[in-house]
Amino acid sequence: MQTRIISAIVALIAFIVVLFLGLVAIRVALIFLTLLGIYELKRMIGNNFNLDFIATALVVALAFFTVLDQALALIFLYLLFCLIMSMIQKGVDFRGFIGNAFSTAYVAIPMFLLMRAILFSPVNLAYLLIFIIAWGTDTIAYFAGSFFGQRPLAPITSPKKTWEGAIGGTIGALILSLIFGLLVLDGVDLIALVVFSIVGSIVSQLGDVAISHLKRATGIKDSGVFLPGHGGLLDRFDSLFAVTAVYYLFILWLF
């Protein structure tokens, strides 16, 4: 527990420093985290081919310094590149294409959207709702499950998760987001915020369970060792990816 707390504090300080340094630092930091997440996911799936990660790094770097339409075009061209490589390179089959394409799209798209949320939020600091709901749900669900958990939520995939923890996490995330919305955000629609918080919390837990299923299927306990006491980047960002996507579905209603 002590290691988890220290890692969380260090990560929070690093996050604040990057935000203080400005646009370029934010983009570079998110590029690094995106590539790390892609690497972890590809390592879990076990499909890769020569030069692939160089192509991945190039596409991600370019995408994060361009506009949305061009970024989507770059990601599509990367998927096409994977498919072509699966045809012409020995030892790479269609499963290799699926693994590489899925890994890149699954991590790069929500991380790119997260960057846009940080840089272009309609209301200053509105993007913090993503972190509040994702990590608030995870943290409160952990403690709620530890104290009150009895009924397993996903006994095969995540035997430690319980329905009591999941419900507690959702209620806790809702309370945190409402406090943040009332104290910090001007013009937020409270009804939209309530619905977004509940949906975002539920989807964040589904994202967590989905990656847990993938880890169990591949025989891996943690996606990596990036955050001591927490595991890899995917272990902390799996729910964040899901909430980021939900945020964009609600953004016009929220503000």
Number of domains in the chain: 2
Share of the chain above pLDDT 70, in %: 89
Tokens of 122: 């309609």
Check if the beta carbon of residue 170 is closer than 8 Å to that of residue 199: no
Q: What is the mean pLDDT of residues 98-108?
A: 88
User: Do 108 and 178 belong together in one domain?
Assistant: no
Q: Residue 13 belongs to what domain range?
A: 1-120
Does one domain contain both 138 and 198? yes
Within this chain, do residues 223 and 107 fall inside the same structural domain, yes or no? no
- Domain finish residue from 101, 120, 139: 120
Same domain, 107 and 220: no
Does one domain contain both 75 and 128?
no
Query: pTM value?
Result: 0.90
Count how many Cα atoms sit within 13 Å of the Cα of residue 33 in the half-sphere of its side chain: 26
- End-to-end Cα distance, the chain: 38
For the cut 90, the answer to whether the pLDDT of residue 165 exceeds it is: yes
Q: Are residues 69 and 42 in the same domain?
A: yes
Q: Is the same domain home to 7 and 111?
A: yes
State phi, psi for 105 to the nearest 5 degrees: -65, -40
| 208-241: pLDDT as tens digits | 999 888 888 877 776 666 666 557 788 889 999 9
